[in-house]
Structure 1
């Protein structure tokens, strides 16, 4: 009787473990990660452990093509049919063979310890390929030219993409916070299209996130109009204005995605175009994640940020080589290992300090346009940058070329839409272009304490 009980107990344990294994393998198809990728990896700060070449075969059959997960799932179904059992299995010799069960369970264990369910970022490469092949994602080929700007001593990566001029223009979505007080007779009669609201295109849809503290929800979508592979967006699930300031939960989710992107091998930086003059293409709040070359330490602007010596790490600083107002905060090197309250508090304090300086800079510009201030925010794992904006585009005085600028330009990755713009911009100076759409620096006055204003988040 005792042996019968133990055999039945073992069978139930096997069934439970197998069901869990099938469930894990299913989610492993979507969130792919090699569990042992830290063996032989390179430890980087920031970024954590980066997989080495010795684990490349496992990454191929787990991350790139989920062969291991599929085999684990099929093996799990077979073991489940054997242990449940299916009526057909009772007639087979292996049904009463303990050795076969031991071998099957051994292989099941081996397969299941090879992978685990990674974050949503792991889906990006596969979703990019799927969306591109289906035609739902439009990839625009471009040429990158490296140019060292004399005014800033920064080597810019200027990307020329004439095909992007054919990008379809969508109707603007009215900001509910602005249109609420306007008579319905004044508003457009045609219903505007918001591409960031349901129903989502299944080929562009990556997944959803929920902030643990605020319970705010986000959607991750592929960028429909891409000039680089794996460019994706973090979007507020409910409509929020692109002219509104980033909230603590926005900052936390952005930073977490950057950490996971680095671990997954999709090295990226994030940026937020805030306001009418920031270069934002959609009025629905979204943060963009722009992949860079894995051999690069970050976007070009980070080279200047890293080499800037600061006396007080807990306070913002400015990169004096840049001819326009810029405010930078150096994040703690161990921040990526923090979670929850401390992570949110650190990021929020950094952003508010930068926003305070940005608003202060705007108030020192007597001819600043009426309305909410516009600015660009650039995120890396090391720094947070905020650049106040005066206008959305710059007109070259010599040739009359109109150069639109968003956060990419201030990150050192200026995007041009015409081949003829390249030589004209190089001759005029990239630094002058950025200065033309930015503001004069008043950092010395701010250091002197003459701009001690506080930021009202309800008005941002």
Structure 2
């Protein structure tokens, strides 16, 4: 019988306790940052200024030395025990991020060494969804995010999905899209988007509970669905991924690179053309308006150039609704 993956009810307490212990022992690098709220064309933006993160290893630091043939360093192959939250969560482990951008920043890491360029599977999505739900308590709302490809902002080539708590007074723009249009969305139709956002992005509503209810109510199916939640999440993800791949193809993108961001209500995918803007690396969190600056110069660039302009430069101009109406993948 189908059983959804689950975590203990005290997972939020475990998350906080392990984070605080790792900070105290020095096994996790975290420094208080300053934050500033803003808007750009009616879109909520949050600037986080964290100069200490300039010490975080880059993608190039994790690559081997070609001259000495030094092997690539993979920090996720054997995670630090002091950062471990849940060692056995199906095919995954839940681990704290050693270089936290906010308190309780954690990850869902595949136990097997799978490249970060591999697309998310229904199993990846189901377990990540369950981890996100388990982390939420007392009004704390989390987002999950996945950076795929050389231009996505990923720094470690081992499949991992990350999670951070959203600022309590911050509303990512996909949330507004879902509130306005989500109820009218029909499975299989083109993904939703925001009129306020100029870069290509694709949003669909999803909710794991729907899958189980729909599976029980569907008396027409002749083949039993082994895992309705994984199938539902996988189908919704394939909807946005198809549009991303089409957008990359029609724009002759140099690589398959994209960001995925999700909550327990929606998932968004954003195709990427570049990894950085004026040497500022931006990952998936940036696509919803959570912009991280590691120096005053970077912060000034975000403000002067404007976030939506920067994000459009890193991705692609949003296509008109009549463009590319059919999926190519």
Give the TM-score, by structure 2 length: 0.85
2:135–2:142 Cα contact (<8 Å) kept: yes
TM-superposition CA deviations, 1:49-100 (whole Å, max 9, x none)? xxxxxxxxxxxxxxxxxxxxxxxxxxxxxxxxxxxxxxxxxxxxxxxxxxxx
Residue in 2 aligned with 1:282? 156
Cα 1:445–1:363 change in 2 (3 A) is farther
Which protein has the bigger helix share? 1
Report SS of the residue matched to 2:322.
helix
Report SS of the residue matched to 1:422.
helix
Cα 1:336–1:352 change in 2 (3 A) is closer
Residue in 1 aligned with 2:281? 404
1:299–1:413 Cα contact (<8 Å) kept: no
Residue in 1 aligned with 2:14? 123
Distance in 2 of aligned mates of 1:427 and 1:164: 22
Report SS of the residue matched to 1:444.
coil
Residue in 2 aligned with 1:355? 241
TM-superposition CA deviations, 1:278-305 (whole Å, max 9, x none)? 0001111110001123x44x65223432
CA deviation after TM superposition for structure 1 residue 320, in Å: 2.5
Give the TM-score, by structure 1 length: 0.62
CA deviation after TM superposition for structure 1 residue 147, in Å: 1.2
Instruction: Name which one, 1 or 2, has greater alpha-carbon Rg.
Output: 1
TM-superposition CA deviations, 1:357-394 (whole Å, max 9, x none)? 0011111113x21x4x1000001011100000000011
Residue in 1 aligned with 2:220? none
Q: Map of 1:205-244 to 2, 5 A cutoff?
A: 205-211=84-90, 217-244=91-118
1:270–1:290 Cα contact (<8 Å) kept: yes
Cα 1:140–1:337 change in 2 (3 A) is farther
Counting matched residue pairs gives 307
2:54 pairs, out of 162, 165, 178, with: 165
Q: Map of 1:16-165 to 2, 5 A cutoff?
A: 117-118=8-9, 120-150=11-41, 153-165=42-54
- For structure 1, the residue ranges without an aligned partner over 5 or more in a row are 1-30, 32-116, 175-185, 212-216, 396-401, 455-460
CA deviation after TM superposition for structure 1 residue 265, in Å: 5.8
Residue in 1 aligned with 2:73? 193
Residue in 2 aligned with 1:436? 313
1:259–1:336 Cα contact (<8 Å) kept: no
Distance in 1 of aligned mates of 2:146 and 2:75: 17
Cα 1:125–1:336 change in 2 (3 A) is farther
Residue in 2 aligned with 1:249? 123
